[in-house]
Structure 1
């Protein structure tokens, strides 16, 4: 029986992937790293630090530290979220349903505390979550299971009793490694990709989630 629900943030609660893509193209481009839009998908789901290190290894730059580069990407994404961020289809309805059913809910994101707070405040959904977990709170980000295990611990629920919503293979791998049930929400262009077969189910958006299909306690 599912006793708690955990959400990823980017790509699940908010369509921030285009914002990340543009920020990476802009910031790394200024440093002389020539990227095409499709190349940013190679690092989808990774922490911002890991993305920065990845592109530095591919095309080293001088004059700007990795920490400052990472901060520049995060800052641009935060500005984009604050100015035009909107909850994805089905988010508010599902969060309201979970609240009505008194199911503990947590957020577990590979993003920074700053971006997590910006997103929660912009979408005005902070109050729906009993626990907020970001990458600074764990030793390793996704695909390591740390952040999902932390979320379960904060909710005081066994990992096996947690249902997770994830959009990336990296995140799905992390939740499965934590021993949780995972529903994948792939991007439209990746719907048929075999990598999502590791998830327990697959939906196109949160509005498709059907309570009757899962052993959720209905009060």
Structure 2
């Protein structure tokens, strides 16, 4: 992978820095089931790339519950995810050393995630990587999450870098699409999963090691 004259590297969080697919699934199943939602594997695949508020809305439309607002239920899911991140070993292998190396070469480092903002310090502090990041962004503060490019424009602006000078590391179709629509170069991170389709990406990383 040739970084050429790039000035910044922007990381997605879930699936790139931490492996949280199982964590989100567990938290969503526990919380939504307690409100009578029948959480299926098929529907969970649909919700995978949504923001937490979109996921809550999705399940509420299918299985409307009473007595708790959508915001309260969303907060319950996020709290459970926070607990699980604090206790599970979910840092992606080799990513810490990879970020450290980029930082030592004076690249600006950003984070752009669809996850709620409250989870960002939980992750960065837990794995002692907060000091590597020049800025962090959550789609919680955008009108739309990925695949909308807004979060990537915001992150580039906060880094004071032109979007074309940014390399993004993403692991999902919606994330890759968001970064490409923002005019950025994209490296798709497969984490060894050969079944993921990454045609749109400019590069592919199978492992940070």
By the TM > 0.5 criterion, same fold?
yes
The answer to whether 1:17 aligns with 2:44 is no
SS at match of 1:116: helix
Q: Give TM-score scaled by structure 1 length.
A: 0.88
Q: Give TM-score scaled by structure 2 length.
A: 0.92
* Match among 151, 156, 159 for residue 155 of structure 1: 159
Once the two structures are TM-superposed, the CA of residue 41 in structure 1 deviates from its matched residue by: 2.2
**Counterparts of 1:20-169 in structure 2 under 5 Å?**
20-169=24-173
Q: Contact 2:31/2:76 (CA < 8 Å) preserved in 1?
A: yes
Q: Contact 2:8/2:166 (CA < 8 Å) preserved in 1?
A: yes
* Match among 2, 6, 13 for residue 6 of structure 2: 2
The answer to whether 1:192 aligns with 2:195 is yes
Q: Contact 2:168/2:179 (CA < 8 Å) preserved in 1?
A: yes
Aligned-pair Cα RMSD in Å: 1.6
* Total equivalences in the alignment: 205
5+ residue gaps in structure 1?
Answer: 208-219
CA deviation map 1:127-149 (0-9, x unaligned): 00001111233232211111111
SS at match of 1:22: helix
CA deviation map 1:168-212 (0-9, x unaligned): 1111111111111111123655x3344x211112222322xxxxx
Once the two structures are TM-superposed, the CA of residue 37 in structure 1 deviates from its matched residue by: 3.8
5+ residue gaps in structure 2?
Answer: none
SS at match of 1:53: helix
* Structure number with higher helix proportion: 1
Once the two structures are TM-superposed, the CA of residue 157 in structure 1 deviates from its matched residue by: 0.8
Q: Contact 1:106/1:151 (CA < 8 Å) preserved in 2?
A: yes
Q: 1:188 to 1:99 in 2, by over 3 A?
A: closer
Q: 1:188 to 1:30 in 2, by over 3 A?
A: farther
Q: 1:197 to 1:131 in 2, by over 3 A?
A: same
